[in-house]
Structure 1
Amino acid sequence: MNFKHVLRTAAAAALVAASASASAGYVVLDGWQLQTPTTSKTNIGRLNLTSGTAVVEQQVNGLGQAFVGAKFVESGAVYSMSYTMENSAGGGDSGPPSGLGDTLTISFSNVAGKVVALNPGGGFRYQFTSGTFLMSGNGGNYASGSIVGLGGNASSTAVIGGFNGDSTLLAMVLNTLNPSFAIKDSLGINLAADMASGKVLFQAVTNNNTTGFLGTGACSFDATKICSKVTVASGGDAYLVRDIPEPASIALAGVALLGLGVARRRSEKK
């Protein structure tokens, strides 16, 4: 075998592998389907999240303020009893809600993160770093998974100080716990494998409001640090999103494949 051909092939394969791991972001899936033991719905644009409650423990400084690098932990739940039907490409679906036929409960625990930027207006941006969730309903436990990213907006958050703010998180549905539960695309193809691999993620976008102050004391995750503990109410929307490769990576993969073809043709001529 020609040694130069081996090198060209290896280099091209490496470029393809590198491009496969890159991502530019996510695109909202339109018209997806949900099946639970008590309901079966098609053409879902988004789930409507309501009545969310959580307890947040936020690290603070001596003045009771959050700071860049300050850690937090959170646990709670958010609910969905209705959905908005698909009527606009992407996340712009509108109109009156439709009954879901089930009461979905998304309970989350072990959620952790940190403050990554401060805002002169009093709020701050934060980043989720870990967490797990359990999705259940009228038919018992349906699915479980992990929180894998995103966080709060730059203007303000609800974690400390009574500010309202937005949270956006991405979650992987790793395990289906009920044989009667399924999330499918618009064509009815089961998305369990794609969700477990991270190709399709569950995205929750909520508006949060601090509802109570529970006190200040040693952080449960580090007794040498000081934390303030608050209660938070949330409501918003949940989407399915698909990971999309960045255009530059697609072009890079094309170049790599082209190089692979050229190397093969040159080898065949010898």
Structure 2
Amino acid sequence: MATDGASHGGSEARDGNVPYDWSWATSGPEVPPSPEIDTSKPSIARVYDAALGGKDNYAVDRAVVEEAERIAPGVATEGSRVNRQLLIRGVRYLAEQGIDQFLDIGSGLPTVQNTHQVAQAVNPGARVVYVDNDPIVLAHGQALLATNATTKVVTADLLDPRGVLNHPDVDGFLDFSRPIGLVLLAIVHHVLDEEDPIGVLNTYKDRLAPGSHLFISHFSNAFPEARAMEENLIRALGRGQLRDEAEITAFFDGFELLEPGVVPAPMWRPDRPLVEPPGSSGLLFLGGMARKP
């Protein structure tokens, strides 16, 4: 498995104007387990951390990435980096438009340039709430953010939108009468059709004030190994549903989709013109952003 953190020193590598802090993503010893962390089964947050070359994962998580790499060499690891670069560009864009509140659901483990770092580099007063259902995210997030009064980490589940929205560290920290950036990157594809992803997302969308933005990235079925990749997700994590452009675009219904629409992640407002069309790793994620009128 590739470990992209190991090949980049310090904070020298850059995406646009935002430096990467690769110190969180370099390989190292496994994290000592706590009673709340089940190391016998892979978790979504830890698998994504492993795909990014992070150190906060276990052998069971790395096995999922290794199988994905066997199915489509380079797609999972490079595709995860592409998705992280999309997050940086999208959050930076929102902060530059004056959005100063962010709700990042399915945020995963701290890694290369998180939402709060990108937003607060533009506006130091920007408020960010991270939400994830994995207890390891809460443990790492609280340690990381102990001295950051404008960022919180909450343990809750995307599939329980009222539980998320009514959580005191969400409702009592973000002002829902003002625009919010709702960030749902690399998470909605873990909601199966029978779990009504459109209904779940509509509950969040209905709570947002006009001028709020919805920012989504989602596994695409537009590359040759998509079906085998989906089967690997279901086998390892019990969930995972790759969707096409039309299905992903439907999640933005009722909002004004921003240019360039729902596109492969590298094509969403790149910092510099693309030299060539994206390969399979660039097609792994489709991304888009829309504004609530």
Computing the radius of gyration from Cα coordinates, the structure with the larger value is 1
Shorter-chain-normalised TM-score: which range? under 0.3
Structure with more of its chain in helix, by fraction? 2
TM-score in terms of structure 2 length: 0.23
Structure with more of its chain in strand, by fraction? 1
Larger RCO: 1 or 2 (CA < 8 Å, sep 6+): 1
